[in-house]
Amino acid sequence: MNCMNTQRNIEERLWEFIDGHSSLEEKTVIERLLQTDTEWKAKYSELLEVNEMLQSSELEAPSMRFTKNVMEEIAKMHIAPATKSYINKRIIWGIGLFFMTMLVAILVYGFSQMDWSTGESSAITDKISKIDYTKFFNNTWVNAFMMINVLLGLVLLDNYFSNKRKQFRKEA
Amino acid sequence: MSTGLNDNELISKVLSGDHQAYAGLVNRYQNYVFTLTLRMVKNREDAEEVAQDVFIKAFKYLADFRGASKFSTWLYTIVNNTCISFLRKKKLEIHSLDNEKVFEVADSMDSGFRANLVEQKSRQSMVHNAIGLMGPDDAEIITLFYKSEQSLEEIAQILGLEVNTAKVRLHRARTRLKEKMETHFAHEVKDLN
């Protein structure tokens, strides 16, 4: 086990040396080891050969018609507008603001419901567990929230289909 | 001629309506993209189809390239996503294959692969064949390090890894490559020495 670790350690240090990632101090140490230690020297020539093979290997080439095929395909296409140009930043900020407001409202409501008069002896977790959220998180509110979500979903779906219809007509 | 222009100049030309300038980018990066796809899908025909798809997607979304990174780095993310979708469609496991499974898959998917070996004992083909027998992750990092002229920092960035993790992965990939050459191409290694 120890021998395997040492071997791996030698290889890792030598790869760093070959890649030129060793520190100046490490470089000096390895250079000295390569002159004096036969195991290091043998391993170094082994790794150096693999490195040279990899460096000298060429990239694979596709068929001769490759560029022509790609150009024929793109001739029928249009470049899509950049994502940032059609995602309205105000919508993202609006969503962020909505969630921040919800969070702040819950926190303010929670803190206002806590009974601070009981003194320090009562743990904060006890106080949190005593907060009554049922006033807002009851069936009526949750149902109303779900209805709004469904409506928004339908509006978005309608928007999506009308865009598709327009695109289809344009292509036709 | 657009071949003398750098990547960003070619991209600007394409975005301003000169779609023919895109051929310059395709010519420049076709081998890089094809090698990466080949090492992931392990079959020349499929690799060419996927590579074409990569360039078509890159053209379509070229306006999204902001020049914050190298074009090859941006292209790599498209290569990676396209290969993953392709392999998912083909129901091939790409991450959990152990070395022997990769050997079997490579063997069955491209029967000419090892047959060519008899004829081509060159150093080049041996390296290509040995890389072809490796897992996609190993083949990918070796190709990126040796063939895409990207630093270890850039490779770590595009693979979403820490630099040290990328370094260790590269070391291990090279060690496995050496083992593959010694195991499967012992004769060729001997002949070359």
Host domain of residue A94: 84-132
A58 and B171 within 8 Å at the Cβ level: the answer is no
User: A-chain residues within 8 Å CB-CB of B34?
Assistant: 59-62, 66
pLDDT of residue B157: 85
Is position A71 within any domain? Answer: no
CA atoms of A134 and A150, how far apart (whole Å):
23
**CA distance linking residue A152 with residue A91, whole number of Å:** 14
CATH code where residue B181 lies? 1.10.10.10
Q: How far A119 CA lies from chain B's nearest CA (Å)?
A: 49
Q: What is the pLDDT of residue A144?
A: 81
* Residue A79 forms part of a structural domain: no
Instruction: Report if residue A95 sits inside a domain.
Output: yes
| Chain B residues near residue A59 by CB distance under 8 angstroms | 31-32, 34-35, 147
CB contact under 8 A, B60 and A83: no
pLDDT 10s digits, B3-59: 678 898 999 999 998 989 999 999 999 999 999 999 888 889 999 999 999 999 999
pLDDT value, residue B60:
92
Structure tokens at B119: 């004829």
> Nearest CA to CA, how far is B104 from chain A (Å)?
22
Our measurement of the distance from residue B186's CA atom to the centroid of its chain's CA atoms, rounded to an integer in Å, reads 25
State whether A6 and A51 are in the same domain: yes
* Whether residues B161 and B74 fall in one domain: no
**Residue A73 domain-assigned (yes or no):** no
Interface of B to A at Cβ within 8 Å reads: 14-15, 19-20, 22-23, 26-27, 30-32, 34-35, 38, 47-48, 51-52, 55-56, 59-64, 123-124, 126-128, 142, 146-147, 152, 167-168, 170-171, 174-175, 177-178, 181
Together in a domain, B88 and B100: no
Which bin fits B91, alpha (ψ -120 to 50), beta or left (φ > 0)? left
Question: B24 and B61 share a domain?
Answer: yes
Q: Which domain holds residue B192?
A: 95-193
Same domain (yes/no): B99, B187: yes
Residues B8 and B86 in one domain: yes
Confidence of residue B182 (pLDDT cuts 50, 70, 90): confident
Q: Which of A16, A57, A80 sits opposite B127 (nearest CB)?
A: A57
Q: Which pLDDT value is given to residue B26?
A: 95
CA distance B45 to chain A (A): 9
Q: Of B69, B92, B115, which closes a domain?
A: B92
Number of domains in chain A: 3
Contact yes or no for A73/B53 (Cβ under 8 A): no
Contact check, Cβ <8 Å, B128/A60: yes
Q: State whether A117 and A143 are in the same domain.
A: no
Both B28 and B100 in a single domain? no
Within-domain flag for A61: no
Q: Are A111 and A97 in the same domain?
A: yes
Q: Provide CB contacts within 8 A for A41, sequence distance 6+.
A: A34, A35
Write the residue in A58, A66, A83 that is nearest to B30 by C-beta.
A66
Do both B21 and B81 map to the same domain? Answer: yes
Render each residue's pLDDT in chain A as its tens digit; 172 residues.
455 556 668 888 898 899 888 899 999 999 999 999 999 999 999 889 888 888 887 888 899 999 999 999 988 888 887 766 666 777 888 888 888 888 888 788 777 777 666 655 566 677 777 777 676 666 777 778 778 888 888 888 888 888 888 777 766 6
**Hey, are the CB atoms on B59 and A74 less than 8 Å from each other?**
yes
pLDDT at A91: 80
Q: Is residue A148 in a domain?
A: yes
- A68 within domain boundaries: no
Task: Name the residue type at position A51.
Answer: N
- Same domain assignment for residues B53 and B67: yes
pLDDT in tens, B53-99: 999 999 999 988 888 788 888 898 899 899 989 988 886 555 444 44
CB contact under 8 A, B56 and A74: yes
Judge if B110 and B85 occupy the same domain: no
- Note whether residue A75 is domain-resident: no
Size of interface A-B (CB pairs under 8 A): 109
Q: Are residues B76 and B124 in the same domain?
A: no
For chain B, what is the domain count? 2
pLDDT digits (tens, 9 = 90+) for B121-133: 466 777 888 888 8
Q: Are residues B82 and B16 in the same domain?
A: yes
- Which of B68, B92, B116 represents a domain boundary (last residue)? B92
- Give pLDDT, residue A62: 92
Query: Tell me, what CATH number does B8's domain have?
Result: 1.10.1740.10
pLDDT of amino acid A65:
92
Give CA–CA dist A135/A150, Å, rounded. Answer: 23
Residue B76 · residue B144 · CB < 8 Å: yes
Q: How many CA atoms lie within 13 A of B26 on its CB side?
A: 29
Select from B42, B59, B92 the last residue of a domain. B92
On whether both B99 and B193 belong to a single domain, the answer is yes
Q: How many CB atoms lie within 10 A of CB B89?
A: 8
DSSP code, position B122? S
Mutate which of B11, B14, B26, B153 to disrupt the A interface (most A C-beta within 10 Å)? B26
CB A27 within 8 A of CB A59: no
